[in-house]
Chains A and B, each alone.
Chain A
Amino acid sequence: MSHHTISVVDLGFVYPDGTRALEDVSFEVGHGEAIAVVGANGAGKSTLLMHLNGLLSPTQGTVHIGGLPVIKSTLPEIRRTVGMIFQDSDDQLFMPTVAEDVGFGPLNLGLPPEDVAARVDEALGRVGAAHLKERPPYRLSGGEKRAVAIATVLAMEPNMLVMDEPSSGLDPQARRRLIGLLASFEHTRIIATHDLDMAAELCERVLVMSGGRLVADASVRDVFTDDELLAASGLERPLGMQACPVCGAAEAAPADRAGDR
């Protein structure tokens, strides 16, 4: 697949219990773009993400990944292309040791054991977790679990990364390392998050969800300065774009902050 693009058209989804979780959601994501999906709890962010690799099938509308429709027959290809990083790393790390967990995907892809071992080392090295290789997942800290969870996905060499709340539950330094890591990726990235400062740092574009609908699709600068839109969607400006609570100085532009990391 040459184009790492996502195209969502008129997507609607109703849960079996009748909850209308998504309605008329349409957007396009270009090759290599980094996009934040923000919105209040229950706005439909996670449901939207689960459509991007076929964990849920639309009740209405279509999803295309790199030109391929997300339907049952394309799922193996789609799931190799779209790497999904779950909110709770414990859900993602189900194998007895870190190395085996990272090797799970590649082994299922049918790679020979030597290639799997190489990919495991490479993926763990990429996230700075090579030393955790032999550890069982239940003996990792929250930050280590998140790093390993990302490695499990990288080992499948996906073209796109879809992440649900990657920075939740991390201490400030682990969060900072995560942001550095995500910024270094060249994959097409979709990040659902409440961490608006991270969104402002990593992404150029923001999708705002509210009540299952896409209410805004614009640049970071436009969305995060539109106080009316933010308030209506249960959000506020990123802390870095608010006046300083101690000295009262006005915010710095996101572009400046991105520069002085």
Chain B
Amino acid sequence: MSAIATGLSTLDRLDRLAQQDTAIHRLDPRAKVLTTLVFIVCVVSFGKYDVIQLLPFLVYPVVLAAGGRVPLGFVARILLVVSPFALFVGVFNPFLDRQVVAEIGGLQISGGWVSYASIILRFLLTAGVALVLTATTSFIGICLALEKLRVPDVLVTQLLLLFRYIFVLGDEAQRLGQARRLRSFGHRGMGLRPYGLMLGQLLLRSFARAQRVYEAMLCRGFDGRIRMARTLHFGRADLLFTLGWTALFVAFRLVDVPLLLGRLTTGMGQ
């Protein structure tokens, strides 16, 4: 399978997972989107050397995934694929920041390593929670929530159309790639040049398709706003979910829970 096909099938699997019917799936998308936003803000607001303090936050994605029957292995696989970005962002930290901040069993740990670990952990938490959110809410559900939360129509329409046509565009790109492979006979073809031309070709085709889609929309009375008949209901469970988790995140942010636990256990040990 080509990289594009793998990507599309991942997206398709996410969407299928989102079709399940669990208590988590039944929650109002707005509750999940808002809670997740608070989660992300809390996680990224920690200091640069904070690692241990981030750990309690793992509970949210794990509970959400377990309750929504989202296989953690699947999420981990996607995280692995996108992790190089996060891994490279902080890769120079250990070299630039050599000040020793901790010592474990005679092993000196520099600030660079700690901040690097913090970056990776934050990436895992935020990207992981976004994936679990998509797998329990569906891309469309998230769009709908954003619309109701007063995100501008233009942006929501863009996201909706993006999700719809990424599959069509992916197929088209795959066909182009296949046509190139069939006539390059196992060689590299003509180097990079064809790829540039193919990309241009794909762009032109997308323009043409966008024009046709727009015409089809005009034919059915499109006036700049996509209307959806789906209604959302923000009930008691949704309120509890949002307030409960938000309170917990804020507590995690303000109180050093691991330290507290440590003191408690060592205190009891004496």
Interface residues of A (CB under 8 A from B): 50, 53, 55, 76, 79-80, 83-84, 86, 88, 90-92, 94-97, 100, 103-105, 107-109, 113, 116-117, 136-138, 152-153, 156
Contact = CB atoms under 8 A, between A and B. Distances in A.
Contacts of A83: 219
B229 A105 contact: no
Given A90-B168, A91-B212, A92-B216, A100 B221 contact: no
B160 A152 contact: no
A71 to B, nearest CB: 15
A79 B229 contact: no
**How would you classify the secondary structure of chain A's contact residues: helix, strand, loop or mixed?**
helix
A79 B221 CA distance: 7
Given A91-B209, A91-B213, A96-B163, A84 B15 contact: no
B256 interface: no
Contacts of A86: 212, 215-216
Contacts, number: 77
Interface of B: 15, 139-140, 143, 160-161, 163-165, 167-168, 209, 212-213, 215-223, 226-231
Given A79-B221, A108-B223, A95 B216 contact: no
B98 to A, nearest CB: 51
A84 B219 contact: yes
A4 to B, nearest CB: 17
A135 to B, nearest CB: 10
A55 B215 contact: yes
Contacts of A136: 15, 164
Most buried by A among B215, B221, B227, B230: B221
Most buried by A among B164, B212, B216, B220: B220
Contacts of A137: 164
A84 B228 CA distance: 21
A105 B227 CA distance: 9
Contacts of A88: 212
Contact of A108 (B160, B215, B220): B220
Contact of A76 (B167, B209, B221, B229): B221
B267 to A, nearest CB: 54
Contacts of A103: 229
Most buried by A among B219, B229, B231: B219
Contact of A96 (B164, B220, B222): B164
A55 B222 CA distance: 13
Contacts of A100: 228-230
A104 B45 CA distance: 42
Contacts of A53: 219
A108 B218 CA distance: 10
Given A94-B165, A95-B160, A96-B140, 5 more contacts: A84-B216, A86-B212, A91-B209, A94-B216, A138-B167
B227 A108 contact: yes
B164 A107 contact: no
24 contacts: A50-B215, A79-B218, A79-B219, A79-B221, A84-B216, A86-B212, A86-B216, A91-B209, A92-B216, A94-B164, A96-B140, A96-B163, A97-B140, A100-B229, A104-B220, A104-B227, A105-B220, A108-B221, A108-B227, A109-B221, A136-B15, A136-B164, A152-B220, A156-B220
Contacts of B140: 96-97
A80 B227 CA distance: 17
A169 to B, nearest CB: 14
Nearest to A149: B216
A94 B221 contact: no
